[in-house]
A and B are shown apart, each in its own frame.
Chain A
Amino acid sequence: MTTASHETAQRTTEPTRAPLPVEPDPGTRRLSTAKAMVEAIAQQMRSNEEVFVLGEDVGAYGGIFSSTTGLLDEFGPDRVRDTPISETAFIGLATGAAVEGMRPIVELMFVDFFGVCMDQIYNHMAKIHFESGGNVTVPMVLTTATGGGYSDGAQHSQCLWGTFAHLPGMKVVVPATPYDAKGLMTAAVRCDDPVVYMFHKGVMGLPWMAKNPRSVGPVPEEEYEVPIGKAKVVREGTDLTIVTVSLSLHHSLDVAEKLAGEGIDAEVIDLRTIVPLDREAIAASVSKTKRLLVVDEDYQSFGLSGEVIASVVEREPTALTAVERVCTPDVPIPYAHDLEYAVLPTRDRIEAAVRRLAGAK
């Protein structure tokens, strides 16, 4: 096939190109993270007929973590497609549709299931743009549920964003709040690159799961984007920097607010995106505070926490006076509640690390 025919096949439509507001005022209307995510998908489906949703139980069930609730009723079974249990087949289908100019949003029910479909993800979705010399784009969104804390066992509780971030070719976003969930989904759908959109079950604000108050919050009704690749200083502070992501943001803010009363003033950065990583934002904060805590629910070794620390050391080799990380140690996530909470980055573990860092010379 010639380059020209590929260009003809690309049917990127104009409505996705109209600029949208970037991080507008949140207003007062409140949604859960799940509902904010669905609202973003619905708005993009209304404005661009090439956007469609597919995956296991995304239709009548509405996504087992409510990531697609109500979409079938509005858009029908042609645009909200339940698939058989073959992740290889339906992620390959989505990649093919994206290559032909559609904008699929394909859900991998649990990120833990990536093992059966990784060839489609990292050899095809992630590499077609590169291998075609930029002549073919793959404007798709791979959504997936991550994280533990509710006794779902070692094969349904992992985060694994470091695994996807390690492989070139995919953007990786990990929203923690309703506001960012909507803005990052909107940005992901409109982006011409493949985006992996990883939502922790514990930030979705689901009625049947223990939820942090921050999983329900203000969300603009209009369409807007949160830029992919931009971290956010969620709490300003001077004593140390906590760099974190997803549900661990909520725990870190809980600890920061508690210890503020004791005179420990923590700056908290929500990465929001892991690829591309906002290394400058991390380095800028640490150059001010000199102390760094990375809180990451993903496995500790060979992952995000080490990458964050390396980003600082490469840019500001003398800035750090103390550094720690609170991650999941390199063991499978236990099923038993007490054992699971022994490995998760809990508030207690974060608080102990913050106290050590604040007391460090």
Chain B
Amino acid sequence: MTEVTFPSMSTGGCGTGVVATWFVTEGEAVHTDQLIAEVAMDKVDAEVLAPADGTISLEVAEGGEAAEGSVIALIQ
């Protein structure tokens, strides 16, 4: 199982952002480097790419808050 984490976007690395868009749905097959999400923090956006092949389960709903480094999805 591979964890997908909220990317580091601030200098301190301890901020909180929002999972703005999920481009994949619960249980969908994903492949490495596929665009799966877009996150936002303090007017800065970042793309999240799948770190592994597998089936994804979403741990944070679209629009939900998440801390930098926290798990937002799992790939099995």
A residues engaging B (CB < 8 A)?
30-32, 35, 66, 205-208, 211, 216
Contact = CB atoms under 8 A, between A and B. Distances in A.
Contacts of B23: 30-32, 216
Contacts of B38: 32, 207
A258 B20 CA distance: 25
A273 to B, nearest CB: 27
16 contacts: A30-B23, A30-B24, A31-B23, A32-B21, A32-B23, A32-B38, A35-B35, A205-B21, A206-B45, A207-B18, A207-B20, A207-B21, A207-B38, A208-B40, A208-B45, A216-B21
Interface residues of B, number: 11
Interface in B34-76: 35, 38-40, 43, 45
Contacts of B20: 207-208
B11 to A, nearest CB: 19
A35 B20 CA distance: 14
Contacts of B39: 207
Contacts of A35: 35
Given A30-B24, A207-B20, A207-B40, 5 more contacts: A205-B21, A207-B18, A207-B38, A208-B43, A216-B23
Interface in B1-37: 18, 20-21, 23-24, 35
Contacts of A211: 21
A210 to B, nearest CB: 10
Contacts of A207: 18, 20-21, 38-40, 45
Interface of A is mostly: loop
Interface of B: 18, 20-21, 23-24, 35, 38-40, 43, 45
Nearest to B25: A30
A128 B45 CA distance: 41
A31 B45 CA distance: 15
A155 B24 CA distance: 37
A111 B34 CA distance: 34
Contacts of B45: 66, 206-208
Contacts of A31: 23, 35
B21 to A, nearest CB: 6
Nearest to A70: B47
A142 B46 CA distance: 27
Nearest to A215: B21
Contacts of B21: 32, 205, 207, 211, 216
A32 B24 CA distance: 12
A30 B56 CA distance: 15
A177 B38 CA distance: 18
Which are the 4 A-B pairs with shortest beta-carbon distances?
A207-B20, A207-B40, A30-B23, A207-B45
Nearest to B38: A207
Contacts of A216: 21, 23
Contacts of B35: 31, 35
Which of B18, B21, B24, B45 counts the most A-chain CB atoms under 10 A from its CB? B21
A73 to B, nearest CB: 13
B15 to A, nearest CB: 15
Nearest to A216: B21
Nearest to A210: B63
Contacts of A208: 20, 40, 43, 45
Nearest to A32: B21
Nearest to B20: A207
Nearest to A213: B62
A127 B56 CA distance: 53
